[in-house]
Chains A and B, each alone.
Chain A
């Protein structure tokens, strides 16, 4: 994955924002905040994920962490 593929992500955010625009204005304010926060988190994770080394994946360190507690029989 690289940063070029951030473009489809941003485009789909814009596309869906245009579709949901009217409903978002009618909805409670908490809805707008949830959407904004989730969009920012998505873009943030993508930028962070594409700018680090390939070994730093959540599943990698989660595996290491759980491995410490897991008996070898499983």
Chain B
């Protein structure tokens, strides 16, 4: 059954690929690739085309299942072991994102509030978002991602003469080693787009929506990095911790809107929250698929709390997360770039038993009763 439109999947792809990447990665890219920082997004995007192509091939074999279901149904034991590894990876991604956002909110919006309180408030929002199911997250994406893109498109109009195109010179003499290093760090964040097929697969994840989402996310990132270079300048950009926030701080719309960055921040933070809501949803869904009869919506809060604890206990401080992106990319490349190839070779749908297509009417009635119960307790969403 087709549940989501192409536009929704495209926006979800942009959200996963571009939102957290904007926080730290442009500074790292500029640090290594200098004036060619915007190339790093393109190189990482080209690498990501391979797993997307492979995942689309797998999708044809499982038209009615998400990838987690496909893994478990074709290899019940080995599949569950693989899912437990993915669970840990998703958990680390969630913990990393939660720590990044908590720190960003503390630095920019709530400097006097204790970090634990900020983190718990954010977690509470995410839990209710994930409990609402994928449709809540998709609807939030539909509201906030277009706003984020619209803000980007209006930025060049406001910056106007502040943009200095001389910083891009020389255009065609790249430091290849630097570009590779920058792309490596960029890839670690951009590979989050490969989390999408774990949730939305089958008929919803059409080739058109997958490629368009990837393309739009890449163009968005290239434009943001390019704007940051043009407005802030490469030497300063490479030394910033929150380059996109600094970019928004450069916006000045006449005298009466001096703190325009607060407005941009108020638009960007919900986008980042939606991305983390998706992270939390993926973790809960993975656990639900591993322990088949479990209700997903009751798993969300324990998993969220575990992610909250991990966000403080895995990393000593935010600088470690910044430095960690070099090593973390290895894990992302192994499990989000190479693992789809392995899954492509191994995953085969089980042949249906004779006469399995016709369900007895009693079973249908059971399912209807289950749906009614799910509506009352809320677990039908997840």
Contacts and interface: CB of A to CB of B under 8 A. Distances in A.
Specify whether A and B are partners.
yes
Contact of B298 (A8, A23, A49, A59): A23
A42 B302 CA distance: 8
Interface residues of B, number: 42
A39 B301 CA distance: 10
Contact of A31 (B181, B298, B303, B327): B298
Given A27-B379, A38-B302, A57-B315, A73 B293 contact: no
A34 B180 contact: no
Chain B at the A interface: mostly helix, strand, loop or mixed? Answer: helix
Contacts of B240: none
A28 B293 contact: yes
B257 interface: no
B97 to A, nearest CB: 14
Contacts, number: 114
A35 B298 contact: yes
Contacts of A42: 302, 305-306, 308-309
Given A8-B120, A27-B295, A70-B330, 19 more contacts: A1-B313, A8-B117, A9-B308, A9-B309, A16-B301, A27-B377, A30-B293, A31-B295, A31-B299, A38-B303, A41-B306, A42-B305, A59-B314, A59-B316, A63-B324, A63-B327, A70-B326, A70-B327, A73-B180
Interface of B: 116-117, 120, 127, 177, 180-181, 184, 287, 291, 293-295, 297-299, 301-303, 305-306, 308-310, 312-316, 320-321, 323-324, 326-327, 329-331, 373, 377-379
Interface of A: 1, 5, 8-9, 12-13, 16, 20, 23-24, 26-28, 30-31, 34-35, 38-39, 41-42, 45-46, 48-49, 54-55, 57-60, 62-63, 66-67, 69-70, 73-74
